[in-house]
């Protein structure tokens, strides 16, 4: 049994491409694999604080093979007359991403849909403290707010050209254009 190639891959069609185009088509596809991550001497991996739009972005970052950490706490809610324990993020809207600061890794992180800002990095000791507090007990909302303030104060800010700027929403852009004309 022979497999018939689509007409787009016939020798006549391929012959119409330039030499540069044929070379590009012959190049094999290489998926992003963390084992091929760009690791350089003298660069320490760090935990970066990343602002995200929704919890779905966490799944997307994990799918792209980033090491992520989302500290969670258990809270009791009343739903339809029943008490339910559920895990909620300790610091809502933020994820900690572990990566080496290389151009390839940085581009992959910055281009992930739903990442609104990369705020900076924090020390490993702060992550260890968060893990300890996460495993201790149920945290009150006041304690969670204090933890969030402490973490946000401890961020080592990135230079302005390296930070991913917030994207303007389409609605805001459209409203601005409508007001001009």
Please, are residues 97 and 109 in contact by the beta-carbon 8 Å criterion? yes
pLDDT of 46 strictly over 80: yes
Stretch among 21-35, 79-93, 104-118, 129-143 having the lowest mean pLDDT? 21-35
Q: Is residue 61 part of a domain?
A: yes
Q: How far is CA 33 from CA 3, 6, 24, 150, in A?
A: 30, 30, 21, 35
DSSP letters along 100-151, please?
A: ---HHHHHHHHTSTTEEEEEEEE-HHHHHHHHHHHHHSPPPHHHHHHHHHHH
Give the domain CATH number at 77: 3.30.70.940
Number of domains in the chain: 1
**pTM to 2 decimals?**
0.62
Domain holding 65, by residue range, is 11-166
Q: What is the pLDDT of residue 115?
A: 92
When pLDDT is cut at 50, 70 and 90, the band that residue 82 belongs to is very high
């Amino acid at each position: 049994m022979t497999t018939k190639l689509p007409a787009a891959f016939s020798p006549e069609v391929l012959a119409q491409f330039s030499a540069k185009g044929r070379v590009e088509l012959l190049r094999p596809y290489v998926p992003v694999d963390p084992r091929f991550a760009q690791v350089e001497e003298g660069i320490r991996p760090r935990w970066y604080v990343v602002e995200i739009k929704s919890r779905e972005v966490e799944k997307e970052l994990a799918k792209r093979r980033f090491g992520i950490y989302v500290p969670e706490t258990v809270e009791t809610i009343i739903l339809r007359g029943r008490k339910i324990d559920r895990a909620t993020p300790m610091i809502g809207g933020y994820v900690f991403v572990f990566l080496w600061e290389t151009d390839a890794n940085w581009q992959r992180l910055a281009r992930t849909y739903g990442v609104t800002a990369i705020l900076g990095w924090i020390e490993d000791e702060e992550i260890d403290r968060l893990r300890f507090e996460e495993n201790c007990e149920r945290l009150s909302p006041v304690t969670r707010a204090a933890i969030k303030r402490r973490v946000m104060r401890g961020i080592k800010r990135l230079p302005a050209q390296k930070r991913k700027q917030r994207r303007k929403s389409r609605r805001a852009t459209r409203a601005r254009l409508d007001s001009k004309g």
